[in-house]
A = this chain, B = another copy of it.
Amino acid sequence: MTKKNKTAITPTREQDYPAWYQEVIKVSDMAETSAVRGCMVIKPWGYALWENMVREIDGMFKETGVKNAYFPLFIPLSYLEKEAEHVEGFAKECAVVTHHKLEKDDKGGLKPAGKLAEPLIVRPTSETIIGESMAKWTGSYRDLPILLNQWANVVRWEMRTRMFLRTSEFLWQEGHTAHATEQEAKERTMMMLDVYTKFVEEYLAMPVIRGRKTVAERFPGADDTTCIEAMMQDKRALQAGTSHFLGQNFAKGSNIKFQNEEGEEAYAWTTSWGTSTRMVGGMIMVHSDDDGLVLPPRVAPAHVVILPIFKKGGDNRAVMESAQSLKDALEGKQYHGRHVEVEIDDRDIGGARGWEWVKKGVPVRIELGPRDIEQNSVFMARRDEPSTQKQSMNREDFIDRITDILGNIQDNLFNRANNYRKENTFEIDDKKAFYKLYRKARGYNNGAFVMAHWCGAEKCEEKIKKDLSVTIRCIPFDSPTEEGKCICCNNSSSRRVLFAKAY
């Protein structure tokens, strides 16, 4: 494998972080933009990653008793009118269906026809329609809890889009639960945040900070919004999952009532929680490098790629047979609930072949030529190490150790991201230093995570947001009680909160 340039991607992260991000997606063949404004095509490599993510997290949901269901794509306009609070938020920008057929126009083209009596909205969330069903299904306390989740596509008309991070149509899951008691709903809120934490840290290898949102940053209608926040390589934060305790607000709006054990009518206590294809964008930005995508083994569509090395005039059949038997041996091994997945790339296209797999982020690459076969060895490269760093290994050793190697790459990615976050997280008590840090923040060096004191006043939060485009990402659960002065107004504060620029 000859290395033509220092890095596989132009520009590098330092040169132009947003352009680097788009390039990683392009060269790894994960997704591309489509002719439809704001919508992307998720290509097989990106979709296989998403499928792995869905399978794992869906299994975790089910272990907690959650059941999947499916609700209609369309929401009647009148439902959104009822939910005025939400309409003030995201629901304003949405796809509106006004007609139910097409007919020929004068110029031989087609035009909308069959105007609907009531316009339909393509779901920006299924909250209202799930609420309606829950109200219907909830008669007595025996019907509770209702623990629902839906995997679906949703649409929010976005003016500026970025693949995976912000697209008009995206894939997500939304969980909605209804409970007989406040306590149980609160426990469920935290249980689902725990699921997200476990999934994002253990599968996506992204360390997160767990906490609750400030009142201003809360989900509309929630009594409490909890979240996990991860640091991207440009030091900005990305929210990788939220879990909301909705109190009885949502139940009152949707009329989710039940007869309790005492025979009295009561409103249910509800929660909701969601993640989306945004997580894919986060995962890309945490691990990838100037050579392209880097995939955590636990969610990678393939763990190992074998690149047979053909010699002109050599016995290529023997090489292919050896590659196939290596693949079979590796696939006999289990790695985290699925077998080790191996690709053989036997295209005879020279050095570009190896680079393609570097760019696609496959955790382990194996070169296998006549000499390796003679010596019963394989030539191995790990995606978490520089692309020039390869090592020869005994073939049986490699087969025996493959799950350890994958586990080691997984851990390494997590630790690297964790160290990176630590190196870029500061406690700041001086307002000038705080402002200086964020005023010069841009591109790859887009600030830092700052743990600073905040008095709790919304106007301080607003001022910082207005001045610096920096927000309170969360009030971390593990932030200790500590006397201090608000970074903005100098009033007394009892706790540090997490500030950052955010995606």
Contact = CB atoms under 8 A, between A and B. Distances in A.
A273 to B, nearest CB: 17
Interface stretch (A89-97, A200-208, A260-268): A89-97
A129 B79 CA distance: 31
Contacts of A111: 119
B102 A96 contact: yes
Interface of A: 32, 34-36, 39-44, 47-48, 50-51, 67-77, 79-81, 87, 91-103, 109-112, 114, 119-122, 129, 132-133, 142, 148, 152-153, 155, 157, 169, 171, 347
Q: Which 10 A-B pairs have the closest CB atoms?
A: A39-B72, A44-B67, A96-B99, A42-B70, A96-B112, A36-B72, A100-B157, A95-B97, A98-B98, A36-B74
Contacts of A70: 41-42, 47, 50, 171
Given A70-B171, A73-B122, A153-B73, A92 B103 contact: yes
A403 to B, nearest CB: 21
A35 B132 contact: yes
A109 B111 CA distance: 27
B73 A142 contact: no
A259 to B, nearest CB: 15
A164 to B, nearest CB: 12
A103 B153 CA distance: 23
User: What is the predominant secondary structure among interface residues of chain A facing chain B?
Assistant: strand
Given A41-B72, A72-B169, A77 B133 contact: no
Contact of A81 (B72, B79, B109, B119): B109
B39 A74 contact: yes
A171 B98 CA distance: 22
A300 to B, nearest CB: 15
A68 B47 CA distance: 7
Nearest to A117: B37
24 contacts: A35-B129, A36-B74, A36-B129, A40-B72, A42-B69, A44-B69, A47-B68, A48-B67, A51-B68, A73-B155, A73-B169, A74-B169, A77-B110, A81-B110, A92-B101, A95-B97, A95-B100, A96-B97, A96-B99, A96-B112, A97-B122, A98-B112, A99-B119, A153-B153
